[in-house]
Amino acid sequence: MRITLSIRRFDPERDHAPHEEAFRLDVAWRSTTVLDALIRIRQEIDSTLAFRHSCRSAICGSCSMIINDRHTLACKTLVGHEIERHGPTIRVEPMRNLPPLKDLTVRMEPFWDKARLVTPWLESADGAGTIPDAVLTKETRSHLHNVDACIMCGACVSSCSSLAVSPGFLGPAALAKAYRFLADPRDRARTRRLEALTQADGVWDCTRCNFCVEVCPKDVQPMEAIVRIRRAAITDGMTDTIGAGHITSFVDVVRHEGRLNEGRLPLQMLWRHPAALLAQLPLAVKMLVRGKAPLPWHPPLPSIRAIRGLFGRWRRASSWTN
């Protein structure tokens, strides 16, 4: 079958801006991957086409790119699958949120730099000593399994909403890695790690958009790892950030009223941050005028006893603190 690959090309030595170039080729479309097609284009049509690849088996993580808007691995994407869903032209672009290099390649340095920033190795309590030679239990291993499956392909980073507007953000891949070491019982640097991860550009910058969960070719669910780091920080009493205050205040408001109250949440969240609270004032007035500002204290739902029962039960349960 004759297919078209519309590839976003960019040569920093010649081009001012990227442009699309269409390549046509005949393929056995049911068994051909997008990576196979790219390799054939380079061999048969244009030897200057730049892209990374190695294992062809979704293990090395080299060939991540954007195929028909999806951040994914070219070696894991079947041409036939794309054609059935999106027609005979397959659009291929380089990853985003990383500096473009040439054609479908991007600079991975910021990616690795951020991974390094989260201390991706086991640490002793003083940061210098030896690590206890303990064997991981089956349960712990299953707990770490998801994040250990990460092949560092960068698809999550490419899709990350916060990174797109805040390039300093550690991002989903590095934070998933951070969680992997935080959750390892052999590690002795929990507090140090949590303090670093809750700084600016850390876990509280995640907007929970779920793109990283959606695109990960290995089901690592980086956002779930970020949520677990946040939970650990709150459990350990690191609740001074507005981000942590959001969670604790939300819990408090729903425990009292059974529902969220947007009139009360910002007050409770921000009373220790007067500048941020003051910045909300003009908006609060406008909302009030339009009947959009709920009163800060509502009577609770009639069934509030049953609801509070659940809050009490799970607070007492051990899982509350992890």
Residues in contact with other proteins, counted by CB under 8 A, come to a total of 70
- Find the binder of other proteins among 19, 24, 116, 259 (CB under 8 A): 259
Query: Taking CB under 8 A as the rule, which mask of x and - marks residues 83-102 in contact with other proteins?
Result: --xx----------------
- Is 243 one of the binding residues for other proteins (CB under 8 A)? yes
- Is 269 one of the binding residues for other proteins (CB under 8 A)? yes
Rounded least distance, CB 246 to other proteins, Å: 6
Q: Show the CA angle centred on residue 90, arms to residues 86 and 91, nearest 5°.
A: 110
| Long-range contact set of residues 216-221: C-beta below 8 Å, sequence gap at least 24 | 216/155, 216/156, 217/58, 217/64, 217/72, 217/73, 217/76, 217/151, 217/153, 217/155, 218/58, 218/149, 218/150, 218/151, 219/146, 219/149, 220/146, 220/147, 220/149, 220/150, 220/156, 220/176, 221/146, 221/176
Rounded least distance, CB 247 to other proteins, Å: 5
The smaller minimum CB distance to other proteins, of residues 12 and 282, is found at: 282
- Is 199 one of the binding residues for other proteins (CB under 8 A)? no
- Is 254 one of the binding residues for other proteins (CB under 8 A)? yes
Helices 109-117 and 171-182, packing angle to 10 deg: 30
Binding interface with other proteins (CB under 8 A): 68-70, 85-86, 161-162, 164-166, 169, 204-211, 213-214, 227, 230-231, 234, 241-243, 245-248, 250-251, 254, 258-263, 266, 269-270, 276, 279-280, 283, 286-287, 290-294, 301-303, 305-307, 309-311, 313-315, 317, 319-320
